[in-house]
Structure 1
Amino acid sequence: MAVTIKDVAREAGVSTATVSKILNNKPYISESTTRRVMEVMKRLNYHPNAQASNFKCKRTGNIIYLAVTELNTAFHNPHMFEILCGAQNVIRNKNYNLSFMGVSDKQDAYDLAIKTVGCNTADGMLVHGSATSRLLVDFLVKNDFPHIIIGRPPFASPSSWIDTNNRVSGQMAMEYLEKCGYCQIAFIGGPRSDEISRHRLQGFVSYMNINGLAIQDDFIKYGTYTKESGYLMMEELLCQPTLPDAVICENNQIAMGAVRAIEKHLLSIPEDIGLITFDDYPLSQLIDPPLTVVDIDVHEMGRQAASILLQKIKNPSLQVQSFVTLPNLIIRSSTKNQN
């Protein structure tokens, strides 16, 4: 038998009205009471009934863009906001409001999704990869709530998602470096567990294998997405008996650290070591020398995500799982000219 709002109220020791107010995000409910009720909802696996809320029949005119935000998010992940701007350009022309909802972690994102569906405060949701979890995705799918996940979920799911093909990005970086005459190529990236870094590395390795090029295990380094980590990984490469003549850096921060290490060793970019990175952040052109980049049009990704979401609002049974916006190469002076 399905858990009801009365069951939650009884278990939490509050009235059904209090539970309803918490679901509707009403003021004057203490933080401790709210936390207790949410814990009971999670323990009882209670989800507000979307059909009972009749959200399909009542247009709110609101779409939520859900993402995890923290200090300096705009600096470390500016693509999040480029995607938002692309989506906004589509949504505003269809008489919808786009509400940005920044949460502290994936659990908060899941809790907000429960409130959104149960309280009928939005017609659809764009979920940034930073906020994606199996709990949240399963909940949206179970309730047939129109949504698009920005970035392919790292687990099997019938959810609707849109992404760029990061394996192709890795292949493109490797192919260009080979055309430039580089042959001892290293890859320094983020954590082993990171989906994007892993896919770009897979593209790099795939190109090497297909073209019969040797892969040196000690030319592949894992770290964090910081310039300090980039510096340390580059230092490790430069202290080896055989030096790379080019390095693929998984992001701009890592590339900044790599440049500092190369300069410390009095080596020249791109003559001694070429550098290529991904995503054309403003930093790409501020680093000396300006970085060659494999870029994706994330603004267009936001536009496409919003367009698909608007289709799903009209037809919630529509399922879309696709790669979009193929990467393009921006050539600057951190790599030698092609042969």
Structure 2
Amino acid sequence: MSVTIKDVAKRAGVSPSTVSRVLSNNSRISRETSQKVRDVMEELGYHPNMTAKSLVSKTTSSICVILPKPAEELFLNLFFMELIRGIVTQANRSGYDVLISSGGSEKEEVEAVSRLLNGKRVDGAILLYSRKEDPVVDFLQQNGHPFVLIGRSEKYPDILSVDNDNIQAAYDATKHLISLGHQRIGFVSGPPNHIVSRDRLKGYTNALKEAGLEMRKDWIVEGEFLQESGYRAMSFFMNLPERPTALVVMDDLVSLGVLRGLHELGYRVPDDLCIVSFNNISIAELSTPPISSMDIGIYNLGYTAAQALIQSIQHDGDRQFQKRHIIPHRLVIRESSIFTPPKSS
């Protein structure tokens, strides 16, 4: 005979409604009571009927993660894997499952989100990116679905979001290179329609302007968050009549492409070119040479995003929550940016 919710309540010395609230991760139940009930559930081998629970509570205890397109390229970048690890960890601790969805186009992304949320398969969504014009954000906002954006929205500044201060982070990275004596500093950017690319470009230009240094358009190259973008950037930069002596690079994976391109052209880091990158994923430390990188707390970005979304879902607007969460950054200096160049004449 299967164990029922009443059996758990009787053994734990609480009411069946308290057991239900524990299963729903209700914040009104104390941590001690919740742990006591869960211990009894494990002891008795009780497994809740999630279909029945969903019908009663009108929730699914599931959230979805919307991947940027193209999804197959995303899995080449450890940044997104660490982000998802933070999301899944917090979701599991809160009793939520995580579904992953993507689309080959913006239209397909909207259709996928609509199926999941309008079909009551998930309770909310996390977007791993922020674009200048984003039909997915428009759909979620206009239909009142719970969601959190990793990044920020210029169109909807008051939506729930988790981000870094990317302007300040890029300013700090550029100032580090300036402090080493560099006066010709280039920038390898990401896709121009991504807000993070625009913000980091602004931080870079702010630092140059403050130092009275020239910002040249031919020292700024745009690309994707892929190794190949860094490789192509080097073919361009190192063929300029006057090339940069240092680079701020949008992403560690892109920096690997920079290193590969420089090696094939016969240049060395940091002797011929210094590099500061972003994200501080494991490959930054393991590359040759190790790359100086801005640690933006990737795991915490994902963890905080899941935490904020689940709080929003569970309280359904009955409490005011902090809307914008900023994760701190710190520069990890390694061999790629320790060389001090001679002063320009």
- On whether the aligned pair clears a TM of 0.5, the verdict is yes
The answer on 1:274 being equivalent to 2:274 is yes
- Structure 1, residues 57-103: CA drift from partner, whole Å, max 9, x if none? 52322222222453242113x32232222122222222222222344
- Structure 1, residues 171-219: CA drift from partner, whole Å, max 9, x if none? 1111111222222211122343333222211101011112322323332
Tell me the equivalent position of 1:302.
302
Distance 2:111 2:237 in 1: 44
Tell me the equivalent position of 1:322.
324
Tell me the equivalent position of 2:213.
213
Distance 1:60 1:219 in 2: 50
- Tell whether the 8 Å contact from 2:271 to 2:339 is kept in structure 1 after alignment: no
Query: Aligned pair in 2 of structure 1 residues 133, 268: CA closer, same or farther (>3 Å)?
Result: closer
Query: Aligned pair in 2 of structure 1 residues 230, 82: CA closer, same or farther (>3 Å)?
Result: closer
Between stretches 168-177 and 315-324, larger displacement belongs to 315-324
Query: Aligned pair in 2 of structure 1 residues 131, 101: CA closer, same or farther (>3 Å)?
Result: farther
Structure 1 residue identity aligned to 2:72: L
Please show how residues 1-339 of structure 1 align to structure 2 within 5 Å: 58-68=58-68, 70-76=71-77, 78-129=78-129, 134-153=134-153, 155-156=155-156, 158-317=158-317, 318=320, 320-336=322-338
**Helix, strand or coil at the partner of 2:335:** coil
Between stretches 126-135 and 110-119, larger displacement belongs to 126-135
Query: Aligned pair in 2 of structure 1 residues 118, 230: CA closer, same or farther (>3 Å)?
Result: closer
Query: Aligned pair in 2 of structure 1 residues 188, 129: CA closer, same or farther (>3 Å)?
Result: closer
Question: What is the deviation of 1:273?
Answer: 1.7
Structure 2 residue identity aligned to 1:118: N
- Tell whether the 8 Å contact from 2:86 to 2:299 is kept in structure 1 after alignment: yes
Structure 2 residue identity aligned to 1:328: R
Query: Aligned pair in 2 of structure 1 residues 56, 219: CA closer, same or farther (>3 Å)?
Result: farther
Structure 2 residue identity aligned to 1:73: L
Distance 1:134 1:216 in 2: 30
Tell me the equivalent position of 1:21.
none
Query: Aligned pair in 2 of structure 1 residues 192, 84: CA closer, same or farther (>3 Å)?
Result: closer
Instruction: Give TM-score, length-normalised by structure 1.
Output: 0.73
Tell me the equivalent position of 2:11.
none
Tell me the equivalent position of 2:7.
none
Question: What is the deviation of 1:265?
Answer: 4.4
Distance 1:116 1:257 in 2: 37
Question: What is the deviation of 1:130?
Answer: 7.2
Structure 1 residue identity aligned to 2:269: I
- Structure 1, residues 262-301: CA drift from partner, whole Å, max 9, x if none? 3344333212321111112333234321111112111111
**Helix, strand or coil at the partner of 2:311:** helix
Structure 1 residue identity aligned to 2:200: R
- Structure 1, residues 231-280: CA drift from partner, whole Å, max 9, x if none? 33223322333332211222234323332343344333212321111112
- Tell whether the 8 Å contact from 2:187 to 2:220 is kept in structure 1 after alignment: yes
Query: Aligned pair in 2 of structure 1 residues 96, 193: CA closer, same or farther (>3 Å)?
Result: closer
- Tell whether the 8 Å contact from 1:290 to 1:332 is kept in structure 2 after alignment: yes
- Tell whether the 8 Å contact from 1:55 to 1:117 is kept in structure 2 after alignment: no
**Helix, strand or coil at the partner of 1:293:** strand
**Helix, strand or coil at the partner of 1:114:** helix
Query: Aligned pair in 2 of structure 1 residues 246, 196: CA closer, same or farther (>3 Å)?
Result: same
- Tell whether the 8 Å contact from 2:189 to 2:197 is kept in structure 1 after alignment: yes
User: How many residue pairs end up in the alignment?
Assistant: 285
Instruction: Give TM-score, length-normalised by structure 2.
Output: 0.72
- Tell whether the 8 Å contact from 1:145 to 1:316 is kept in structure 2 after alignment: no
Structure 2 residue identity aligned to 1:284: A
**Helix, strand or coil at the partner of 1:303:** helix
- The alignment's C-alpha RMSD in Å is 3.0
Question: What is the deviation of 1:118?
Answer: 2.8
Percentage identity across aligned positions? 23
Distance 1:238 1:250 in 2: 18
Tell me the equivalent position of 2:4.
none
Question: What is the deviation of 1:136?
Answer: 3.0
Distance 1:118 1:227 in 2: 37
Structure 1 residue identity aligned to 2:138: D
- Tell whether the 8 Å contact from 2:130 to 2:153 is kept in structure 1 after alignment: no
Question: What is the deviation of 1:148?
Answer: 0.9
- Structure 1, residues 128-177: CA drift from partner, whole Å, max 9, x if none? 22799744323333333221122223533653222222212211111111
Structure 1 residue identity aligned to 2:94: K
- Structure 1, residues 25-83: CA drift from partner, whole Å, max 9, x if none? xxxxxxxxxxxxxxxxxxxxxxxxxxxxx99952322222222453242113x322322
Structure 1 residue identity aligned to 2:71: E
Question: What is the deviation of 1:224?
Answer: 3.9
- Tell whether the 8 Å contact from 1:168 to 1:327 is kept in structure 2 after alignment: no
- Tell whether the 8 Å contact from 1:159 to 1:319 is kept in structure 2 after alignment: no
Distance 1:142 1:319 in 2: 20
